[in-house]
Amino acid sequence: MKISRRQMLLGGTATAAIAGIGGIRVFTGEIEPFIAGFVRHALPETRFAEGSAEDFAKDYLAKTEVEQSKIDQLMRAQRIVGYDGLDLLFGGNLSYEGFKRRVATMFMLGSDFFSLDGSQDPVRYVGTADICGNPFARLT
């Protein structure tokens, strides 16, 4: 099979256009849906009430100092490999593990997660819990 110069240019142009469109999709996006999906991924056995993860994502972004560049990197990687892929790629990274635990903990503390006594009711997010950052602090 012989490929002409014209076919090569057309094929290269088409490939570049498809890659460009895919790149635009990967490199743009909202952070709130990513955080909502991330909390669902971090708590896989949890049934979420409708809109709970999304409400949490809004509060999380409003009340925490989020490093936009780090979350953007996770968002781009997630779009390519998925949430499970993030665990495979960054599972041993302490920064990633800390972020995952922080997001899950903030959701659990701001919801009725601990008061459901094993019932099948979905977890409802109520609001961010303003707690002390040191679990060993003496609050007297």
What pLDDT tens digit does each residue of the chain (140 aa) get? 666 676 666 566 656 545 544 443 334 458 999 999 999 999 998 999 999 999 999 999 888 877 777 889 899 999 999 999 999 989 888 889 999 999 999 999 999 988 887 778 899 999 877 666 565 656 55
Q: What is the pTM of this model?
A: 0.69
Task: Give the residue from 80, 79, 83, 81 showing the smallest Cα distance to 104.
Answer: 83
Confidence (pLDDT) at 24: 39
Place of tokens 């601990």: 114
Alpha helices by DSSP H, listed for the chain, are 5-27, 31-42, 52-63, 68-90, 94-109
What is the C-alpha end-to-end distance of the chain, expressed in Å? Answer: 82
